[in-house]
Every structure is written in structure tokens, then in C-alpha cells.
Chain A
């Protein structure tokens, strides 16, 4: 079936540096791309999203980029802090559903 590929599966970065997570999708009709953060033992929560009429969106230390031609979108966390340690999931819309990436475990090293 249709997939969203998310890489890397584990990402270790030094506190204060930036972290980048990349996703690719298959369906050129996808027009909505959210990112969810899931802390240990918690449920996933939306942190930022981008629609296909935009190429870049930024909010509170988070930047998402969308390259529709390459069917690729990415999340960039600037100035990482210990509280950024979590699982991050990307997703792409397909009809009435979201197709989810397999997740990235972000570990912030002190």
C-alpha cells in the first residue's frame, strides 16, 4: 500500500544544535502534512503542519519545508532542548486518511 518513509529512525544530537527529520510520500494528490510529537507514555500531539500551497512554515523553533516536486517534506528543530526528546511522526493526507511515517526517536544529549 501507499507509504510515507521517515528517516532517520533514531537521531542523537547535542543540546543546542539543530535536528532534522525527513519524510517522503508517494501520492502527488496529498495536500496536508502534519508533524506529531509523542513523549514517553503520552499520546501524539500536533506540533506543526503545512499545506500544499506553502513551501515553508515556521513556529516557535520549528521549521517545516515542503518540496512537492520531490514529494519530500522535513522538520527542523533549531536550538534543541532536553524537552525535545521524544518520538516524532510525519504524515501525509490520502483521501480522508493520513498515512503515517514510522517515527523518529530524537535523543538530545546534554
Chain B
């Protein structure tokens, strides 16, 4: 089996600060995702990537940048942290390139705290 590792588990930053979350997977999956989950709510897609160096915007991409430098890693940057975006950010991966019919495997999540 494989694993998805998100770092850091907690990210504390100041309002207006640029903050980066990292995600690594060793499944050798093609597609990786970044979701935002607000407390007690569903998942909203920020960015996804179907292969190395590919980047696709989700419904919530404004205010975020992402980077897929290697097949195994996908990072997400909050360009200017705001207090209303304190949430859990979930990274996920799936096996096939751009095929939404495959299982998503999620990381443990990174909680963003803006002070």
C-alpha cells in the first residue's frame, strides 16, 4: 500500500502572508488534488493536476497557486492568507490520468490558522 503525506499538519500564519502546503504520495498515481474543507462542510476543489507539470483550476482557485514539479509531489500556496479561509486542506491522489472514476486516496489534512 501507499501513503499520502501532507506537511505541515498545522500551518499558522499572519493575515496577508504567503503560505505553502506540501503533499507527497508514493502510490505512483498520476492525478493529484487539493481540496478545502470548512468545518462540518463538504469538499471544494482548489486545484488538480493530471500529470507532472500539469495544473488545472478547480472551483475555488482564486487566491491560491499550485505546483506539480514531480509526479509524487503537489504543493499549494495561499497567496495572501485571510482569516475567513481558516480550514482544513486535504490533498488526494488517484491512479489514472484525469479519469474521475477512480478512488481518491486522501492525506491526513493540513489545518490553516490565520492570526
Q: Which residues of A contact B (CB under 8 A)?
A: 1, 6, 31-32, 34, 36, 42-46, 49, 51, 87, 89, 93-98, 100-103, 105
Contact = CB atoms under 8 A, between A and B. Distances in A.
Interface residues on B, range: 20 to 34
Contact of B43 (A32, A45, A89, A96): A89
Contacts of B106: 43-45
B52 to A, nearest CB: 16
Nearest to B99: A96
21 contacts: A1-B59, A32-B100, A32-B101, A43-B106, A43-B107, A43-B109, A44-B106, A87-B40, A93-B100, A94-B100, A96-B56, A96-B98, A96-B99, A97-B45, A97-B58, A98-B100, A100-B42, A102-B42, A103-B41, A103-B42, A105-B40
A101 B37 CA distance: 12
B100 A44 contact: no
A44 B33 CA distance: 13
- Give the top 4 A-B pairs by smallest Cβ distance, nearest first: A43-B106, A93-B100, A32-B101, A96-B98
Contact of B90 (A43, A87, A103): A43
Interface of B: 31, 40-45, 48, 50, 56, 58-59, 90, 98-101, 103-104, 106-109
Contact of B104 (A46, A51, A94, A101): A46
Given A93-B100, A96-B99, A97-B100, 5 more contacts: A36-B104, A42-B108, A49-B103, A93-B101, A95-B100
